Amino acid sequence: DAGVIQSPRHEVTEMGQEVTLRCKPISGHNSLFWYRQTMMRGLELLIYFNNNVPIDDSGMPEDRFSAKMPNASFSTLKIQPSEPRDSAVYFCASSPGTNRELFFGEGSRLTVL
C-alpha cells in the first residue's frame, strides 16, 4: 500500500521565491498534518486538517505561510516569499482518526539561500 507521498523531496531556492510543497495522504485517512522539523526547534505542528477543513493553524509562523486541502487526497503548503529561516524538513502526516497513529511522508527538505 502506498504511504503518505510528499513532493518534492528536496528543494533549493533563493530568498524571495515561492515554494509549494505537496502531499497525498493515505487513502481513507481523514486527518492531515503539516509539521516542520529543525535541529533547534524539533518537530513543530504547523496546521492540521480534519475532513479537508483546517482545524488549527495556530502553528503557522506568519502570513507568508498558507496551506490548502482542496480534496481528501491532496494538500499543499505554500511559502511566499521564502526566507532563509524557513530552511527545514517539512513533513506531512495523515491519520485515520483522532488520537490514532500518525503516518508520515518522507519529508520535503527545503533550503532557502
Give the interface with other proteins as residue ranges (CB under 8 A): 31, 33, 35, 41-43, 45, 48, 50, 55-56, 91, 98-99, 101-102, 104-107
Closest approach of other proteins to the CB of residue 81, in Å: 27
- Cross-sheet strand order for the sheet of 5-7: 5-7, 19-24, 74-79, 65-71
Closest approach of other proteins to the CB of residue 90, in Å: 11
Closest approach of other proteins to the CB of residue 64, in Å: 23
Closest approach of other proteins to the CB of residue 28, in Å: 17
CA distance 63 to 103: 27
CA distance 60 to 65: 6
Minimum CB distance to other proteins smaller for 17 or for 100: 100
Minimum CB distance to other proteins smaller for 31 or for 82: 31
Minimum CB distance to other proteins smaller for 51 or for 80: 51
Helix/strand/coil for 85: helix
**Cα separations in angstroms, 102 against 40, 48, 64:** 23, 12, 26
Minimum CB distance to other proteins smaller for 18 or for 56: 56
β-pairing verdict for 19-24 and 5-7? antiparallel
